[in-house]
Amino acid sequence: MKKVKEEKEEKRLASLKLEEEEKKKELEKEEEKRLERIKLAEEKRKNQGLYVIEKGDSLSTIAAKFGMKTNALRELNNLEKKSAIRIGKKLTIPYNQKRVDAIARAEYIVEKGDSFGSIAKDFNLTSKAIIEHNRLKRKAKIRLGQKIRLPLPHALKKKRRKTKLLRPIGKRKLRVTATAYSSHKAQTDKTPFLAAWNNRLRPGVKSIAVSRDMLTRYGMKNGTKVRISGLPGIYRVRDKMNKRYRKRIDIYMGLNKRRALRWGRRSVVIYW
């Protein structure tokens, strides 16, 4: 009798032990699943960024900005078809935050190991397009922390729209060759701040010198207001150029000799 009881007790203990082991295995599996979910969530967060809605944005323009379909953006953010978006609200984008910020600003901050080629590849651009957009030389080198403007479609569209708004002024327009100069003796004469008609120049003033034919043939005069395509603001005629030049303007750039040299020689349209 005693032996039977002992056997029953052994079976009961064995059964309890088995149940405990099974529960332990289940808990371990649940813990593994929980850790896996956390890991997936972290990876998802790493590959997602937040975009802050700005004035003029719509779901379609935001989607186009990041190369997405509008429906995909809507589904990612659990938005209904008729859901309205508000300025300042954050939308989830399927790129890391660094890439989201760069695309939103159309500007990339150079990091260690970057090159024009690697940046171009990351943003589906070409090295040539980036170099030209930043007005750099072909063999220019980039440095750590440098800000590189990205010629992304939405940035170029915004730039074109801004330039277009600046165009209308006066009744006349003409394509001319534009150079630039600064108040240095090497680029002017012994009186770098004194212009024609006794006009005095000072850094910050939007002033241009014009070729003589612009005065005699095209009707410009001292003080004529001029708009230059691609440049903001209104310039005034304050100086005359050498007699040998035709259909030409020289843009005054104050004391910034480097900026004047970087401008070089360009073909622009002027309005007056």
* 251, 179 contact by CB (below 8 A): yes
Same domain, 187 and 137: no
Looking at residue 259, what is its pLDDT? 87
Lowest-confidence range among 66-80, 151-165, 173-187, 255-269?
151-165
Question: β-strand 207-210 against 235-240: which pairing, if any?
Answer: parallel
Same domain, 113 and 173: no
Same domain, 140 and 219: no
Q: How many domains does the chain have?
A: 2
Same domain, 173 and 130: no
In a domain, 12, yes or no: no
Looking at residue 48, what is its pLDDT? 86
In a domain, 4, yes or no: no
- Look up the domain containing 109 and give its range: 49-160
Please say if the pLDDT value at position 186 is more than 60. Answer: no
Same domain, 154 and 171: no
Same domain, 212 and 250: yes
Distance of alpha carbon 250 from alpha carbon 264, whole angstroms: 10
Please say if the pLDDT value at position 175 is more than 60. Answer: yes
Among 132, 160, 188, the domain-final residue is 160
Same domain, 112 and 197: no
CA dist 42 to 39, 46, 71, 93, 269, Å?
5, 6, 25, 15, 54
Please say if the pLDDT value at position 228 is more than 90. Answer: yes
Same domain, 155 and 58: yes
Same domain, 151 and 53: yes
For the stretch 117-134, pLDDT in tens is 999 999 989 999 999 899
SS (H, E, C) the chain: CHHHHHHHHHHHHHHHHHHHHHHHHHHHHHHHHHHHHHHHHHHHHHCCEEEECCCCCCHHHHHHHCCCCHHHHHHHCCCCCCCCCCCCCEEEECCCHHHHHHHHHCEEECCCCCCHHHHHHHCCCCHHHHHHHCCCCCCCCCCCCCEEECCCHHHHHHHHHHHHHHCCCCCCEEEEEEEEECCCCCCCCCCCCECHHHCECCCCCCEEEECHHHHHCCCCCCCCEEEECCCCCCEEEEEECCCCCCCEEEEECCCCHHHHHHHCCEEEEEEC
For the stretch 18-44, pLDDT in tens is 788 888 888 777 877 776 766 655 665
- The residue among 14 and 216 whose pLDDT is bigger is 216
Please say if the pLDDT value at position 165 is more than 60. Answer: no
